[in-house]
A and B are shown apart, each in its own frame.
Chain A
């Protein structure tokens, strides 16, 4: 194929004129027949070999190119009668409306035309495209609906557009011939005023007289296994057009009655319309014999399966794999476990050099069926040999530097791991391969968060970069360690989760001690082999010391635990909740470790390590912290039991009294309401005010009960441990299980649906009491009564529906937003501009802060000052 090197300056879209169609055509199609008896394409048929070749062995009669060399050539047919091009039907209607039926001038007075022309000229000189559009629109609206032509004084009949392609004048149809004649008469300057450039688009070309036949190459036929030929949808449509056109010709020549000619003409219009677009509202879609609609030109281009979104914006690739994911906390964050089967299918091309030839020879020796082997050897630019039992020996003998071996994946290879929907850049990251048994991809549970993955059947994709450049790029730009800090808020998106937080929390609790042996076991188990650190351990080791053994020796950090009560004056080291987390020179002096120091999203220690040291060290520490937490939990043992939701009797009676109290409180409010003693809040009605007051009262109760439970629970309550550590669950969950489920709400209101003025028929009308409006006063553990159960199921179903309906909607919304914002960027002068360099913001975010380099959008000046002073 010929390659042309040229730079595109401008692109102009224009209409094809009949002359142009004839000029670019290489054959006139005269028959709807495709092949003769021998199966050879008919001359003057739709598969004419002057239109290009799709059979191997044949040569194009126009360019003498073979299959794949010849790109195909257009042909044409002359239509017996002109036909409206469906895609321009609206424009034609506009032109019919705005111009005179006799003289084809714009229906505006000469003065107006002059005025608008001058305006258009000045705007064109200034290049104000949008304003020109606006002017065109103005001319169009002003010249519509004029009763008498200002030029030739003919009375105008308003043309009606009868979809899809008919124009009516006083119930009389204007034939396409007439339409075309009128269009021909419209003068160039008038067209410019209406917003049409006559140099490239004369309106008469919107009525087709010469019809272009697209090349065979864009509608190839396929030969079925049975030897039968199956034609492309476009070819089917074209043969319809040619056939009807031929019949129309014959009938006209034979002098057939006007009705028959008209009918055939309409049929021709139908076929040409559906050729361009088979989804037009008033036109029944053309179908196959099987009843499935034909895919014509518009279908090829438009929407998700069209050329743009399917073939150009999205492409399929080789060297990719997809399977179910499952967790493996024993592998590192930046690794991905790959099934052996996949690792033998995907390959890495490796060039043979004198230094690695022995190594690669082993792969070739193993062949495609033994792991780790190789599938192909690329001998030179043209030859690629598959390794099989027959070829193996020869290939092995001929293996020499310069050849490329496509070897199986081995541990440490670079890969790209991705989960759809890829909403942010952490949705596609670079992981190192770990070949493992099993059939699923394995990943460290800590990277679930950036991918937004879980293991309920999620599948993920894996790609293997095939060049040195792409591997380098993936490693430098996409490695998991480079993605720890999320650009959306500047916090760490990867952190310890679930068990590892619980474990570290229990380990570092005040007073927790281990023997030297236990500590050594733990530390060596997670990979601390630094003997200097281990030597420091005394016979009795505190949990904090074990934790600190992971930290670098010169590491300083200050933070707060989740338990921090935000006291007015911080007691710092003497904090009674042990929530002042102080790390000095790699020693954890005070404070308990929990989700706010090592968790995702806020982990201050993690972030400080990331900031002060390199990324490799940060990932290394993350991994060890994670493993330490799990290892300690494993050693200690951890579970959750029903008795975690047991409440001491005294608390139980207190809580019950509180619930009763609040119900009584509600009754009081209702009583007051009935006596008209409630004063409405501003901008609320009395009824709304009552609702608000009741809801507030009831919600208060649940919080109060939650507090009672959290205050009364012992340190050994597993659910409480998890919730204070920030690993899983919160007080509310516990309160709901143990004491009180609380008010069920639909759309922020108490339940009010069901019967007229009541939720269920067993309540009185307008009953405002807690029970009648969905207040659940029992706990999950004790069980709900039937009415409560019903209300609970109501809100449960509602939230289920809500998530199911909201996901696709918000997904589309996000897509539109992302597409609209995709080429905004901060320029060197700190302005935010779009692709046209139009200013969107004068200073980025008004404060010029790069969020990805801040902490949650702000810069903690105090911390920086403290750090600088410390160093001096």
Chain B
């Protein structure tokens, strides 16, 4: 095994600074878009090759829910649209 492959084995999702990433169902995505009255392009983006979403097998157009720690309120939800570069 090459050094590069060895490195890629590290699972970033286990790191304490990587927040939880969850793929939204199509239904939930539509609900979200309706809630904010937006098209999916108006969401913040996440690159498809982002290490934190590799385990989700997300495709372009999916929406990822991110549960983050927030200094002001404890835990918050954030949504990002999977996009190409």
The interface of chain A, by Cβ under 8 A from chain B, is 131, 134, 829, 831, 833, 836-840, 842-843, 845-847, 849, 857
Contacts and interface: CB of A to CB of B under 8 A. Distances in A.
Given A131-B84, A837-B38, A843 B76 contact: yes
A829 B42 CA distance: 15
A846 B77 CA distance: 9
Q: Which of B37, B41, B79 has the most CB of A within 10 A?
A: B41
Contacts of B52: none
Given A131-B84, A134-B85, A839-B44, A846 B73 contact: yes
B36 interface: yes
B43 interface: yes
B72 interface: yes
Interface residues of B, number: 16
A837 B44 CA distance: 11
B70 interface: yes
Contacts of A131: 84
Contacts of B77: 842
9 tightest A-B contacts by CB?
Answer: A846-B70, A847-B72, A847-B73, A846-B76, A846-B73, A838-B42, A846-B72, A845-B72, A839-B42
B38 to A, nearest CB: 7
B42 A837 contact: yes
Contacts of A836: 42
Contact of B78 (A134, A842, A849): A842
B44 A840 contact: yes
Contacts, number: 36
Given A829-B37, A857-B72, 6 more contacts: A838-B43, A838-B44, A839-B44, A840-B44, A842-B77, A846-B76
A833 B41 CA distance: 13
Contacts of A838: 41-44
Interface in B1-59: 36-38, 41-44
11 contacts: A131-B84, A134-B85, A829-B37, A836-B42, A838-B43, A838-B44, A839-B43, A842-B76, A842-B79, A845-B72, A847-B72
A840 B44 CA distance: 7
B60 to A, nearest CB: 10
A836 B38 CA distance: 11
B36 A829 contact: yes
A644 to B, nearest CB: 42
Contacts of B42: 833, 836-839
Given A839-B43, A840-B44, A842-B78, A831 B72 contact: no
Nearest to A858: B72
A838 B41 CA distance: 8
Contacts of B38: 837, 839
Nearest to A837: B42
Contacts of A849: 72
B36 A839 contact: yes
A706 to B, nearest CB: 32
A837 B76 CA distance: 21
Nearest to B72: A847
B8 to A, nearest CB: 25
A846 B79 CA distance: 13
B43 to A, nearest CB: 6
Contacts of A839: 36, 38, 42-44
Contacts of B36: 829, 831, 839, 842
B70 to A, nearest CB: 4
A705 B36 CA distance: 60
B32 to A, nearest CB: 9
Contacts of A831: 36
A845 to B, nearest CB: 6
Contacts of B78: 842
B78 to A, nearest CB: 6
Contacts of A840: 44
B26 to A, nearest CB: 19
A837 B39 CA distance: 10
A840 B79 CA distance: 10
A846 B44 CA distance: 16
Nearest to B77: A842
Interface string B55-85: 0000000000000001011001111000011
B69 to A, nearest CB: 10
A130 to B, nearest CB: 9
A166 B80 CA distance: 47
A841 to B, nearest CB: 8
Contacts of A134: 84-85
Nearest to B41: A838
Contacts of A842: 36, 76-79
Contacts of B73: 846-847
A831 B78 CA distance: 11
Nearest to B68: A846
Contacts of A829: 36-37
Contacts of A833: 42
Q: Which of A836, A837, A842, A849 has the most CB of B within 10 A?
A: A842
A840 B42 CA distance: 9
Contacts of A837: 38, 42
Contacts of B85: 134
Nearest to B35: A829
A131 B41 CA distance: 12
A846 B78 CA distance: 10
B73 to A, nearest CB: 4
Nearest to A857: B72
Nearest to A127: B41
Contacts of A846: 70, 72-73, 76
A831 B36 CA distance: 8
Nearest to B42: A838
Nearest to A840: B44
